[in-house]
A and B are shown apart, each in its own frame.
Chain A
C-alpha cells in the first residue's frame, strides 16, 4: 500500500511540476514564487514582527488551505477530462492507494510549502533585520503551525477531492472549491464582526493563556473529526464503476 501511495505521489508531483510545460517553469511557479513571496519578500518587508506577531499561528495554519485549494480541483476531474482516469482505474492500484496517494500529494505540497516558507521567513528576518539574539517563533507557535497546518491541508485536500470526484469538469470543481473556500473564510471573518461584545470577549479569552491550550486541543479535535468525515465521504464516493460511467 505505501509503495503504491508513493507511486501516486510521484506522479502527482511530477504532473504539478510539468503543469507549466517544463520542470523549470513548474518549479518556479509552484514552489519558487510562493517561497519567494512568503519566505523572502514579505518577511523582509515586515521585519521582526513577521516572526513575533501573535497572529503567526493563525495565518500559517490557514495558508495550506489556500495552497492546496488552488490545485485540488484537478485531482480527479482533471484525470477524467484528460481521459487518463479509466486507464489508471484499469491498473492494479487499489481504490485506497489512488485516493490516499492523491490526497497525500496535495497535503505534502501544501503543508510542506507552508512549513518551508516559515523556516525561510525566519532565516530572512534574522539575516535582514539582525537583533542581539536570534528571532525564533515560540515552541507553542511552531507546534500549532505544524499541527493545524497538517489539519487544514487535509481539510482542503479531502474536501477538494470530494468535489473533484463529483464535478463534471475541472472548471466546475474549481468554481465549487473557490466558493467553499470563500464561504469558509468570509464566514469566519463575518462571524468575528457580528459577535456580541460579551461573546467576543469570551472568544478572545479562549485564545489567551491559560485557556489557549484547551482551545487549541478542542479546535484540533474538531478539525480532525471534519477531516475524517470528508475522507470517509471521499472513500465512499470513490467507486470504480461510478467513475467510469461519470
Chain B
C-alpha cells in the first residue's frame, strides 16, 4: 500500500438505472487533506459510503488503508472516523455523553477517554458547555462536536462529508480553522467532500472534481488551475487597442477583452500570467489589481465543459 491511504479503481455504484458513481479511479496520499469536490447529487456521499464499506460497489473496487471495502469493511471502520451528511449527535445527550458513548465504542480506557474528551472539548472551545444538551446548541457548535467525535479515537483516516454545509460564514470559518489545526496536529489523512471551493482551496493538499459520478480532474489546486486554462481578471487603466492586440497575439492567450476598466484574459492550459503583466506594464497600462482564477473558476469551467461534452464524451 505504501503512501496511499485510499485507492479506488473504476469504482461504480448504480441505483436502479441511475449511475451515482461512474468508474471512479483516485488515489489519496497518506497524511493529505484530500478535497472531493462536486455539485449536489454528484456522487460524493455515495463514494464516502462505499469507502466506509456501508454500501457495496456495483463494479470496480476500493481500498482504504490497504483494506478492501467489500471484504474488510470492519477493518476500515475500526481505523476511520466519520462526520457524515448529518452530524449524527444524540441531541438529548450532553456533549460529554456523546463523546463518552463513542469513546466506549472505540474502547478507549476510562482515564484516557476522559482526558481525550477534555482535550478535544477544550481545543474546540466547548468545554464550558459540556454538560448541556446538544439539542440546544447552534449548528456550528454541533458540527464542531461532530468533528471532535470523528477524531476522538485518533483514527488514521477521517471522512468529512460537507462539514461546513449550512453554517453561517463566521461559524464556517471558525470550524475550518479548528479543523485545519486539529488535522495538522493529529497528522491524520482527511477525505473531505465539499462544494465550497474556497474551503477546499484553503484546506486541501489535493483535490478531485466529480460531476454526475464521473471524475473530471484531480491534482493539486494550483495544478488544476493551470491545467484547466483559466481566466485572470485585471483592474487596469490605459488599455488601448494596441495593448489589447499585443496581448491577443501572445500564444498563451486564448482570448482577451477590456470593459469597464477590467481586463479579462483567458489563458491556455499551463500558461503563466507574469510575462503578460510585464507586457502590459511596458505598453503603459496602469495595473491596480490582479485576480488570478480561483479553484471556483476551475470548478465551474470543468462542470461547464462536462455539460457541453456530455453525453458524447
Contacts and interface: CB of A to CB of B under 8 A. Distances in A.
B74 A92 contact: yes
A241 B85 contact: no
A7 B97 contact: no
B17 to A, nearest CB: 16
A92 B105 contact: yes
B107 A3 contact: yes
The main secondary structure of chain A at its interface with chain B is helix
Interface stretch (A14-22, A45-53, A112-120, A181-189): A14-22
Interface string A66-101: 000000000000000011111111111110000000
Given A82-B91, A90-B84, A241 B104 contact: no
A216 interface: no
Given A3-B107, A92-B78, A11 B86 contact: no
A18 B89 contact: no
Contacts of A10: 101, 104
B52 A90 contact: yes
Contacts of B270: none
Nearest to B91: A82
Interface in B30-82: 49, 52-56, 74, 77-78, 80, 82
Contacts, number: 70
Interface residues of A, number: 27
Nearest to B80: A90
A84 B56 CA distance: 21
B93 interface: yes
Give the interface centre of B88, B102, B133, B159 by most chain A CB atoms within 10 Å: B88
B102 A91 contact: yes
B89 A90 contact: no
A21 B94 CA distance: 11
Interface string A226-246: 000000000000001100110
B89 A84 contact: yes
B105 A93 contact: yes
Given A18-B93, A91-B77, A86 B54 contact: yes
A245 B104 CA distance: 27
Interface in A132-168: none
Give the interface centre of B87, B104, B107 by most chain A CB atoms within 10 Å: B104
B137 interface: no
Contacts of B55: 241, 244-245
Nearest to A98: B105
B84 A86 contact: yes
A84 B105 CA distance: 14
A91 B105 contact: yes
B9 interface: no
A49 to B, nearest CB: 41
B82 A90 contact: yes
Interface of A: 3-4, 7, 10-11, 14-15, 18-19, 21, 82-94, 240-241, 244-245
